[in-house]
Amino acid sequence: MKDREVSSGLARRHPPVTPGGKGRFGDFDVLGQVSRWDLVTAGVVLARLDTDPQLSFFTAEEEPTVRALTDLLLGQHDEPRVPVVEMLDKRLLAGETDGWRYEDMPEDSDAWRRSLAALDDEARALHGERFSDLPPERQARIVQGVQDADEWHGFSAGHLWSLWTRYACSAFYSHPWTWNEIGFGGPAYPRGYKNMGVDRREGWERPEVDARDPVPWAERREEALRAHEERQDASPSEERDR
Amino acid sequence: MSRLSDADVRARNASAWLLPSGDERTNHRLRADMRRYDESDEVDVVVVGCGAGGGTLMQRLARTGASVVGLDAGPFWDPDADWVSDEAGSHRLYWTEPRVISGSDPVPLGSNNSGRGVGGSMIHYAGYTPRFHPSDFHTFSLDGVGADWPIAYQDLKPYYQAIEQELPVSGQSWPWGDPHDYPYSPQPLGGNGQMFVRGAHALGVTTKVGPVAIANGRFGNRPHCIYRGFCLQGCKVNAKASPLITHIPDALAHGAEIRPNCMVNRVVVDGRRRAIGVTYITGGVEHFQAARLVVVSGYSIETPRLLLLSGSKEFPDGLCNDHGQVGHYLMVQGAPQVAGRFDAEVRMYKAPPPEVSSEEFYETDPTKPYKRGFALQTVSPLPITYSEHVSAQGHWGEALREYMRDYNHWAVTGALCEFLPRYENAVTLAAETDRNGLPVANFSYSMCDNDRALEDAAQHTQEEILKAAGATETIAVKRYAHLVGGCRMAADATQGVVDADQRSFAVPNLYLVDGSVLPTQGSANPALTIMALAARCAERLAASRNQGAPAATRAGGGL
Ligand SMILES: Cc1cc2nc3c(=O)[nH]c(=O)nc-3n(C[C@H](O)[C@H](O)[C@H](O)COP(=O)(O)OP(=O)(O)OC[C@H]3O[C@@H](n4cnc5c(N)ncnc54)[C@H](O)[C@@H]3O)c2cc1C
Ligand code: SF4
């Protein structure tokens, strides 16, 4: 399929981009393989590097709320960020649903609007401010409250949680920067794989070289869970101040 | 069995030789030269839905010389131009028209369940093609649960063999159910398959590589698999079988017509309860295709929906619904999925997700508190699907990110549990309508106690296997897979919608050949069984045609 391949061109950057500059695979850059992808796939994937920043679905009022929410859900606290909000905006505008909804939920686009408004209502009721103006700990506690609830602002909380995380995760993990972060090989046609099996790599795949290695998985996991909790524990003094 | 020579398969079904042999995947000439019927022509057969069942039946009937038109709601796919080697970009393969889900255990649809377009859901199925076990056809007699089919395993066996040769299927010799061999040798294993085998063997659980509808080698003009792992996104290589490449090309070569992007909205029946054709919407305009025989094959949700939408004076509650059977006894397999963490790199995205199976736990075990059983298979989710697995643990934010950064160290297996058919699990029409103004399907699903016990056992067994392979942590998620039933085959009209020949009890020239006719589901992936049933149905239709009764006087629905 030689004639259908594209040259790697401008997509690569050095060092390779990962969301928030976090990753475990050093100089592994999935975009270094673009010349080995078929043209149709390359077109679809590279378009994600050039998402239109103009929002059309989310209103100016909703924008800061949805940014704060998706940053929290995906742990995107630093630049460069995967433009998840822009990706959701396009998707909701196109009405690209998963092809089903829970009987007790509104249409997806409606559910997004109403739940963003509910986040602001809740933030105002608890702290007198918009959701996006709250310190991250307070935002996180509200979000955790949704995950823990059965019912939340008229929603079945589990069904709303499913909607939020499905949209957020499928946008985030479709982006080549996250593939760099997790060491995923990305599109594989027409190249394919030659070295399959436990502990086997292609020449262009990379082992992990995270600075914290050799921290075992169990410790990394505990650390991440701790960091996650800490985001929700405002210090007592801060609570008193407010 | 029985590797037939390629020449023997080709003489029966030349599809793999009708595809181009170079870098292109579609024979555009064959499609351009396709025979086209006029709407005013009364064709012998109109088929609604060109997926597993419909695609197979069309090929068989076209070969008998019948005039056949297949209508499909989705596109006539070209793997080169339409499909991508990418998870999110494959969204258009799924049926994403609106559907509502309800019940105490609602079943998410979309990517996890049904496809659209020529080739049906097999475009994005994983590719496992096991047979049902003989016991699956008599679960009520044997175990007092489920239902007995009006046919037995032996009735289907020759069609299983024929389809296994045509796909073709590769795998190790099969010790379970009715033991048999496969036409092609097993595929090499990736990291995920190796971990599953390692753990199972440490516990004394037998595993077998396959059975998968991916030839180990070239087949006709279809190239070898390149182990790129995107089977659930449509195979751009033409290595994984689907009717688009295994049956439709041969159907076209024998004069069948495929009309893509045609959404059938009604099966039209005359005052004497005979079908006279179908109406369909394409480009926003309604058309009518007259036919002597109507075959519906739209998947377990759209088939009952279409029958319910086709009510008339004769059928006030929906077509073929005199006994309240349409849409009921819909089944879904419980598919608990377990991920295990290994210090070694697994990189499960390399190799096809369908690699290894075990049917050790398939049959009823009298020492267990539940009836029937489950099968185990490798699944190998790509990042988006795997992030759903992680987020189902409740992880979000930093924890989600850290688990995902560890993606390359995890192996994932899945089970298929035989959940039991229940009348209340059903498709009905919702108040909401689609863009054509037609009421959408509401699929209500609730599990029973036997289902829950099976699901727990299947999850526990997978955790044990992954730990035995050396996993230091396991995380599990409860999911579903494979919808079948909804218009089941039965011995009489009060128990189901179609008879043993898949002819509807109510309308003698209306047949159903998709997965909706299954009375039980076993713990096997259903596509091979759906295709085998469709091949059998076609052969019986053709035989009734050869008996030579003139069409108008035939009591039955023969051609
Ligand atoms: C992610 C996933 C993985 C799977 N993995 C496996 C596996 O490994 N092994 C296996 O055996 N099975 C697997 N399956 C299931 C398998 O693909 C289906 O069971 C099988 O394809 C169903 O066949 P069918 O004939 O009932 O319907 P389909 O193959 O879905 O065909 C139905 C066709 O009808 C068309 N249609 C529907 N309504 C209309 C209408 N009103 N008018 C016109 N056309 C219409 C649709 O567009 C579609 O093309 C998997 C499914 C999914 C989603
Ligand atoms: S792994 Fe093989 S069968 Fe699966 S999509 Fe890739 S080439 Fe096709």
Task: Write down the domain spans for chain B.
Answer: 6-553
CA of A26 to the centre of ligand 1 (A): 42
Give the separation between CA B171 and CA B540, rounded to whole angstroms: 30
Count the domains in chain A. Answer: 2
Please name the residues in contact with B262: beta carbons below 8 A apart, sequence gap of 6 or more: B71, B72, B73, B280, B281, B282, B287
Q: What is the DSSP letter of B187?
A: P
pLDDT digits (tens, 9 = 90+) for A143-187: 999 999 999 999 999 999 999 999 999 999 999 999 999 999 999
**Tokens found for residue B283:** 């480009």
Residues A62, A132, single domain; the answer is yes
Asked whether residue A239 carries a pLDDT value surpassing 60, the answer given is: no
Q: Residue A183 is nearest to which of B108, B401, B408, comparing CB atoms?
A: B408
- Asked whether residue A203 is domain-assigned, the answer is no
Establish whether residue B12 lines the binding site of ligand 2, counting it when its CB lies within 6 angstroms of any ligand atom: no
Per-residue pLDDT of chain B (559 residues; tens, 9 = 90+): 456 788 999 999 999 999 999 899 999 999 999 999 998 899 999 999 999 999 999 999 999 999 999 999 999 999 999 999 999 999 889 888 888 999 999 998 876 678 899 999 999 999 999 999 999 999 999 999 999 999 999 999 999 999 999 999 999 999 999 999 999 999 999 999 999 999 999 999 999 999 999 999 999 999 999 999 999 999 999 999 999 999 999 999 999 999 999 999 999 999 999 999 999 999 999 999 999 999 999 999 999 999 999 999 999 999 999 999 999 999 999 999 999 999 999 999 999 999 999 999 999 999 999 999 999 999 999 999 999 999 999 999 999 999 999 999 999 999 999 999 999 999 999 999 998 999 999 999 999 999 999 999 999 999 999 999 999 999 999 999 999 999 999 999 999 999 999 999 999 999 999 999 999 999 999 999 999 999 999 999 999 877 654 443 344 455 6
CA of B122 to the centre of ligand 1 (A): 6
User: Tokens representing B302?
Assistant: 């759209």
Alpha-carbon distance B306 to A177, whole Å? 44
The pLDDT of residue B39: 87
Q: If you measure CA to CA, which chain A residue comes closest to B383?
A: A173
Query: Which protein residue has the closest C-alpha to ligand 1 atom 53?
Result: B113
Q: Would you say the C-alpha torsion A145, A151, A153, A156 has a positive or negative sign?
A: positive
Which of A38, A72, A193 is nearest residue B397 as measured by Cβ atoms? A72
B310 and B294 Cβ atoms separated by less than 8 Å: no
The separation between the first and the last C-alpha atoms of chain A, rounded to the nearest angstrom, is 63
Cα pseudo-dihedral B282, B284, B286, B289, rounded to 10: -10
Q: How far is the CA of B101 from the centre of ligand 1 (A)?
A: 18
Is A22 inside a domain boundary? no
Counts for chain A of helices (H) and strands (E), in that order: 9, 3
The predicted pLDDT at position A13 comes to 65
Ligand 2, residues B228, B245, B350: which to mutate, most atoms within 8 A of Cβ? B228
**Closest-CA residue to B109 (of B321, B427, B487, B375):** B427
Own/partner pairs for B140-145, CB < 8 Å, 24+ apart?
B142/B364, B143/B364, B143/B371, B143/B372, B144/B371, B145/B371, B145/B372, B145/B420, B145/B450
**Distance of residue B346 Cα from the nearest chain A Cα, in angstroms:** 5
**Residue scoring higher pLDDT (A231 or B18):** B18
**B235 inside 8 A of chain A by CB:** no
- For residue A224, name the pLDDT band (cuts at 50, 70, 90): confident
Residue B277 Rama label (left phi>0; alpha psi -120 to 50; beta): left
Give the number of the ligand closest to the Cα of residue B126.
Answer: 1
Second CATH level (architecture) for the domain B6-553? 3-Layer(bba) Sandwich (3.50)
Residues A129 and A36 in one domain: yes
Give the helix/strand (H/E) hosting B484: strand B480-486
pLDDT of residue B552: 37
Q: Whose C-alpha lies nearest to ligand 2, atom 2?
A: B225
Q: What is the mean pLDDT of residues A102-108?
A: 93
Asked if the structure places residue A85 within a domain, the reply is: yes
Residue A31: band (very low, low, confident or very high) from pLDDT cuts 50, 70, 90? very high
Let me know if residue A93 belongs to a domain: yes
- In single-letter form, the type of residue at position B407 comes to Y
Which pLDDT value is given to residue B3? 63
Strand, helix or coil at B268?
A: strand
In-domain check, residue A193: no
Instruction: Give CA B49 to chain center in angstroms.
Output: 12
DSSP labels for B170-186? Answer: B-SPB-SSS-B--SBPP
Question: Which positions ≥6 away from A97 have C-beta within 8 Å?
Answer: A107, A108, B96, B98, B110
Check whether A234 has a pLDDT greater than 80. Answer: no
- pLDDT for B459 equals 98
Report how far residue B557's alpha carbon sits from residue B295's, in angstroms, rounded to the nearest whole number.
11
pLDDT at A24: 86
C-alpha B310/C-alpha B287 separation (Å) is 15
* Distant-in-sequence, close-in-space partners of B227: CB < 8 Å, separation ≥ 6: A192, A193, A194, A196, B188, B190, B350, B351, B352
- Token couple for B139: 């679960």
Q: What pLDDT score does B206 carry?
A: 98
Q: Is the CB of A24 less than 8 angstroms away from the CB of B344?
A: no
In a domain, A60, yes or no: yes
Q: How far apart are CA B529 and CA B157, in angstroms?
A: 10
B116 lies within 8 A of chain A by CB: no
A177 shares a domain with A216: no
pLDDT value at position B555? Answer: 43
pLDDT at residue number A230: 81
CB contact under 8 A, A99 and B84: no
Per residue in A82-114, is it b (16+ CB within 10 Å) or e — as a string?
bbbbbbbbbbbeeeebbbbbbbebbebeebbbe
Q: Which residues 125-184 on chain A approach chain B with CB closer than 8 angstroms?
A: 140, 143, 147, 165-166, 169-174, 178-179, 181-184
Residue numbers of the domain that contains A142: 30-182
A37 and A86 assigned to the same domain: yes
Residues 82-121 of A with CB under 8 A from B: 96-104
Residue in A closest to B411 by C-alpha: A198
Percent with pLDDT over 90 in chain A = 72
- How many residues are listed for chain B in this entry? 559
- B149 in ligand 2 pocket by Cβ < 6 Å? no
Choosing from A136, A163, A182, the residue where a domain stops is A182
CA dist B262 and B428 (Å) reads 22
Within a domain: A117: yes
DSSP, residue by residue, A67-79: HHHHHHHTT--SS
Residue A163 placed within a domain: yes
Q: What pairs with residue A38 in β-bridges?
A: A5
Give mean pLDDT, residues A110-130: 97
Residue A220 has pLDDT above 50, yes or no: yes
**Mean pLDDT over each residue of chain A, to the nearest integer:** 88
The CA distance from B157 to B151, in Å, is 11
Q: Give me the pLDDT at residue A8, please.
A: 43
Interface of B with A in 359-398 (CB under 8 A): 382-384, 387-388, 391, 394-398
- The kind and range of the H/E element at B281 are strand B275-282
